[in-house]
Amino acid sequence: MTSKGDGAVSRQARVGAASRRETQHRLLQAAAEEFTEHGYVRATVSRIAKRAGVTVPTLYLAWGSKRALLREYLTAGLREGLGPLEDIGGLFAGKTGREITAQLATLVGAVAETAGTGWKLYRDAASVDAEIAADWDQLQSMRRGTMARVVAHIPDAELRPGLSRDAARDTAWAIAGPETHELLVRRCGYSSEEFIRWMDETLTAALLA
């Protein structure tokens, strides 16, 4: 049996959890603004806390570190572009080679739009922070593993002659990345549609018979 007192405690716990989530959300938004304006290295926890309207101790209680905020900033962008992150490769099951390259190009375009800034911040921060550098290496390995799962669905008859599955994985990994988006969209002025079309055509030429 649950007492009235237990019900009050439960309500208080729910309110407290909601308040913590709201604080975390405000801090993440503030960190996104701070990182975008100043970069990771020059960003300060004091300015992030001030933007969010909380104290620095509250920031550390909610997130633990500036590094953790950067990781969540990137992860949130990846979730927005990709949806659930557990099995991206499974989206390509049963597709033809052309359908796979087209869908991969579209996904890369979506991820680059939502997570491109976070990816660049992470790459830059890796040069000055050993823990972020280790995390960056892990993220690169995860992206390479995702490409292996994607190209595994290309039917044997449609794979470019002489191209091994390992070489196909690394080819897709090199082409379909945020660095390519930065070069073509941010530096060369490609539109999002032009970038996706280029990505599709390039992956098709590189991977398919």
> Is 74 found in the same domain as 58?
no
Q: Are residues 96 and 108 in the same domain?
A: yes
In the prediction, which pLDDT does 169 show? 97
Q: Does 4 share its domain with 78?
A: no
Per-residue DSSP letter, 91: G
Helices 4-42, 97-126: crossing angle, 10 deg rounding: 80
110 and 172 both lie in a single domain? yes
Burial class (CB in 10 A: 0-12, 13-18, 19+), 100: buried
Q: Based on the structure, what is the number of domains in the chain?
A: 2
Structural domain span for residue 137: 66-209
Q: Are residues 206 and 137 in the same domain?
A: yes
- Examine the domain organization and report whether 41 and 86 are in the same domain: no
pLDDT tens per residue across all 209 residues of the chain: 555 556 655 766 665 577 889 999 999 999 999 999 999 999 999 999 999 999 999 999 999 999 999 999 998 888 887 765 456 667 888 999 999 999 999 999 988 888 888 988 999 999 999 999 999 999 899 889 989 999 999 999 999 999 999 999 999 999 998 889 999 998 999 999 999 999 999 999 999 99
Count CB neighbours of 200 within 10 A.
Answer: 19
Would you state the pLDDT for residue 17?
A: 72
Q: What is the pLDDT of residue 184?
A: 96
pTM comes to 0.81
Same domain, yes or no: 152 and 49: no
Q: What is the pLDDT of residue 8?
A: 58
